Chains A and B, each alone.
Chain A
Amino acid sequence: MVTGKGGTGKTSVAAALALGLAAGGRRTLLVEVEGRQGIAQLFDTEPLPYEERHLADVPGGGEVRALAVDAEEALLEYLDMFYKLGAAGRALRKFGAIDFATTIAPGLRDVLLTGKVKEATTRTAGQRRVYDAVVLDAPPTGRIGRFLNVTAETARLAKVGPIKTQSEGVSALLRSPMTAVHVVTLLEEMPVQETIDAIAELTSFGFPVGRVIVNAARPPLPAGRVVSQAELRRGLIAAGLPADRDTVAGLYAEAQDQTIRRELEDSLRADLVELGLPLIELPLLPEGVDRAGLDRLAEALVRAD
């Protein structure tokens, strides 16, 4: 499970993790559940259907597949499995009944989504699991606790029946050592605060928190290196660059902003370290997130393991 505040790059990190875990000829499934088509946009492909599709090859014979889970489709699939709806199921969809059913019971939607993830995770072919790992681009930190805590949500409404059984199965898997919830953050105040809050919530619900992943990180500030304008001017002249007042003043202002920024980052990093969880820092990709960039992130993630 990969969560994080909106804008921290959790989809990129989830994709990189799926690529990384597919190294060495393994097969992984990258799943999204929010209908954003974030994976398709990231890999610049057609929108993903509710169907497992080949997404990317990984050197060494590995493969990443992708799936966009749709709650309505998942409900139909689920009903069909238990009640054999057939054509009646399609009629229900036309009538809006499926939309109704997935919104009628808070939590039902989430049970269906996580239920599909469970199915993919535990699916076997012969004696072997179909996927070596399933990576979920999960809802953001503000909603992750409620999303994963399916039993509590459905138990409020469904006291018996298959939904209850289903959510208990999902709940057991999500709290088992097979699951890890990774939290992606930036070294900015609000994402860090939300990371700390989400980890407290996840822990209180009994979900295994994996790693804190700092995205777009810069190395910590070297101690005490503060530059003066005079020093800058000397440096620029030594490098054969123009050392006019505007250039010196401009670079000096940039350096000051950097110092403020980095001091804040260092203090936020210290807050994260205090959580006592493994911390991974992923480099900022100045040219944006393309496949080469994702491979770099994948390598950094796997190396950290």
Chain B
Amino acid sequence: MPSEDAAPQLDVDQILADPGVRIVVCCGAGGVGKTTTAAALALRAAEQHGRRTVVLTIDPARRLAQSLGLTELDNTPRQVKGIDVEASGGELHAMMLDMKRTFDDVVLQHTDRAKAAEIFANPFYQAMSSTFAGTQEYMAMEKLGQLHARGEWDLIVVDTPPSRSALDFLDAPARLSRFLDGRMLRLLLAPARTGGRSMFSLVTASFGMFSKVVQKVLGAQLLTDLSGFVAALDSMFGGFRQRAEQTYRILQARETAFLLVAAPEPDAVREAAYFAGRLRAERMPLAGLVLNRVHRPAAPDLDAAESLAAAARLADLGGHEATEEVLRAHAALVQQARREQRVAQRFTEEFPAVPAVSVTAQPADVHDVDGLRTIGAAISRA
């Protein structure tokens, strides 16, 4: 596999065992096995390395969630029973992010009950806490910050939201906090006050008109609701930004390890490379690449052309249909493995110093603790 030839081998066990590492963030495009990887790593940290671990999942497949005992979305970590921690003394807890409830909690923490009730009743808050683009990413960061602040976990493993682009995870919190305490919002809600003082008359003129246009397009009721929402949240703006910045700093610290998760498909690898560049620019600690679902022929010495030629001979001979089929399947597997290798090489060529590990594709989907254990061992090459 290319990651073994070109890139240094990623040693996941070293990361999971390191007491200095307190947060592992799994990120990557959708559909590459991010959640499964996060759960498998967390299980391994608890079982093999005796760490008190919590895994924060965003949107797990139903059966995977059930296997972790996550039958309801209650936004608090629940201990996973029936795992093998007798020798290690570790613990595994799991939780599923409830975006709306996390947002509600933040509001409650920053204000009194009466004001909170007012905020909860505001239609703008209701829309924003459940559908605002970026709220899920923001709340994932918020929850991570909360778990970290409590200091009761040796290791927090985070699965990132299934964003349209992996980068949303880094951008959305900033976007939301910019929005919440943005001067745009203030300008919009108090155009008269700022209008006279602004030095940029063209902008101010445009803005007055813009405000009118927004009124026309969106309707006056929306602006009234928004105004009420902003007034009610006013005291919390500073807090929102401060928390987002705090979490950002934690992510840059040595106690955090980012793992890119990808599958050997062009889109996923491109996304991983993009994300690697971005982490480097943000000075966030990239620990390595987990390349999932890699196909590996079990009879590597038999090449595709040879295999297909032999299948053709057997077809002429007759009587060996089963072998013929196995040989054709083998040829397809070898071709697929070669194609995957070429795709993965694009990442290693761009980031030769990033350690990587390839995980062989499982014949069936994983949805129990045994399956997660197998995956964990495969990632660790144990």
**A-to-B contact residues, CB < 8 Å:** 5-8, 11, 34-36, 38, 41, 79, 83, 85, 88, 91-92, 94-97, 100-101, 103-109, 139-140, 142, 146, 153, 156-164, 188-191, 193, 222, 225-227, 231-232, 234-236, 238-242, 246-247, 249-251, 253-258, 260-261, 264, 284, 286-289
Contacts and interface: CB of A to CB of B under 8 A. Distances in A.
Contacts of A253: 298
Q: Give the interface residue-count category, chain B.
A: 35 or more
Contact of B326 (A38, A94, A227): A227
Given A97-B184, A142-B59, A246-B299, A261 B206 contact: no
B225 A157 contact: yes
Interface of B: 29-32, 59, 61-63, 123-124, 126-128, 131-134, 162, 164-165, 175, 179, 182, 184-185, 188, 202-203, 205-207, 209-210, 213-214, 216-219, 221-222, 225-226, 263, 265-268, 270, 297-302, 306, 310-311, 313-314, 317, 319-327, 329-330, 332-333, 335-336, 339, 343, 363-365, 367
User: Taking chain A's interface residues, is the majority helix, strand, or loop, or is none over half, making it mixed?
Assistant: helix
A96 B184 contact: yes
Given A239-B310, A253-B298, A79 B213 contact: yes
Contacts of B182: 100
Contacts of A260: 363-364
Contacts of A85: 209, 213
Contacts of A7: 29-32, 263, 265, 267-268
A88 B205 contact: yes
B310 A6 contact: no
9 contacts: A11-B267, A106-B127, A146-B131, A241-B306, A249-B299, A251-B298, A258-B329, A260-B364, A261-B364
Contacts of B313: 238-240
Contacts, number: 226
A88 B202 CA distance: 8
Given A6-B162, A159-B221, 19 more contacts: A5-B30, A36-B164, A36-B165, A85-B213, A91-B206, A92-B206, A97-B184, A153-B131, A157-B123, A157-B127, A159-B219, A162-B216, A189-B365, A239-B323, A241-B302, A241-B306, A242-B301, A253-B298, A254-B329
